[in-house]
Amino acid sequence: MQASPEFRKQLEGYGLTTAEILYRLPDHPALLQSYIWQDYDVFPEFPVLKKFLGFWETSLEGPLFKVTVGHQKLIRPAELKAIGAEFRLH
């Protein structure tokens, strides 16, 4: 059994990146349209997102207006909290 490519990326330091891309409509430049993009990427360089935005600017007609990015690592160290008591059950 092999791990999925997505899980391997997470082990390599990739996290889930979500970007809201606002762009102008080519026929109506006063209107903005929203596009949600999501993929695994590396913080803070975001090479996958930059590649996608480069493709957007060279291949699509809607000029970019604003890109808002959110990122979260899905695999991270466990959070442990110390407690002040210990209870034993027989």
What DSSP string describes 3-61? Answer: --HHHHHHHTT-EEEEEEEEEE-SS-TT-EEEEEEEEEE-TTT-HHHHHHHHHHHHH-S
Residue 85 has pLDDT above 90, yes or no: no
More confident residue, 80 or 31: 31
Phi, psi of 46 (to 5 degrees): 50, 55
User: Per-residue pLDDT tens for 19-34?
Assistant: 999 999 999 999 999 9
Q: Where do we find the tokens 């209107």?
A: 31
Residue 90 has pLDDT above 70, yes or no: no
Structure tokens belonging to residue 65: 């207006």
